[in-house]
Amino acid sequence: MSMLALTERAFGLALPALLTAILIGAGGPAHAQNESVELDTSAREIAIEPDFNGAQIVIFGSIDNSKQATSASGYYDIIIVIRGPAETIVTRQKQRFAGVWINGASRMFEKVPSFYGVLSNRPITDIVDEETLRRFDIEFNPQPLKETRTPPDKFEKALIRLKNRQGMYVKAPFAVVFLSKSLFRATLKMPAQVLEGTYTAQIYLFHSGKLLSWDKSLVEVKKAGIERYLYTLAMDHPWGYGLLSVAVAVASGFLGWTLFGRN
């Protein structure tokens, strides 16, 4: 056999292996890409003005490399958690003493989210088990750092009940809607009494109870206009704020006496 024939035969044997290596290196069918989720919000900043009565935020996102056939196939599950700035809350038990209701035993909760919203495409307990929800902190728990979860006592129940009544704890099990096999959206209503600060919107993508990907986005809630000026003055220069309050009160009284006073 001639040298040329040997060379052609060796090249023919090596060609399939070379093509396979190129496909693998290029991310071809030999390695399927994993899904990843991306999240964004309709507003990155919310201004609290004198006529502020709440805000509506549209949360939307997409799933890259989606394996879902259609928007209604139910292949994926999505949970979105919105957390507000932390605050300290004290819950007190009322006691009746000598015919009068007074404050009795109390309990302090530190670093409690001032706002907490859980949005999903179906009830979260149908998506994953309670242990997984706790591991990823996808629940309203006044003590999220406790290693063991005990049933909530009367103070925790009172705190959750108060947050529910104020609209500061929102659970919407069918708020997330798939628009296509990879696009989805959800709408969240934030009440007027939300605190100023940074709000975190975090998304979790599940399939058959397994976490595939997650992402997050930030929303800033800030006071604007005259409220922002008065708030900054009160926080940074309390003496100046006090003097301004006295001056406004004196001026208002003098103006009222001038307009409506009798000689």
The 10s digit of each residue's pLDDT in 183-207 is 999 999 888 888 889 999 999 999 9
pLDDT in tens, 38-97: 998 888 888 877 777 888 889 999 999 999 988 888 899 999 999 999 998 888 877 777
The H or E element spanning position 40 is strand 36-41
With bands split at pLDDT 50, 70 and 90, how would you rate the model's confidence at 147? low
User: b/e for 36-55, b at 16 or more Cβ within 10 A?
Assistant: ebebebeeeebebeeebeeb
- Dump pLDDT digits (tens) for 132-141: 888 888 877 6
Q: Distance between CA atoms of 37 and 232, rounded to whole angstroms?
A: 38
CATH number of the 33-223 domain:
2.60.40.3880
pTM: 0.71
Tokens of 213: 């990907």
* Gyration radius of the chain's alpha carbons: 29
DSSP secondary structure string for all residues of 43-68: -SEEEE-TT---EEEEEEEEEET---
Instruction: Identify whether the C-beta of residue 206 lies closer than 8 Å to the C-beta of residue 212.
Output: yes
* Bridge partner list, 216: 202
Per domain, the residue ranges of the chain are: 33-223, 224-258
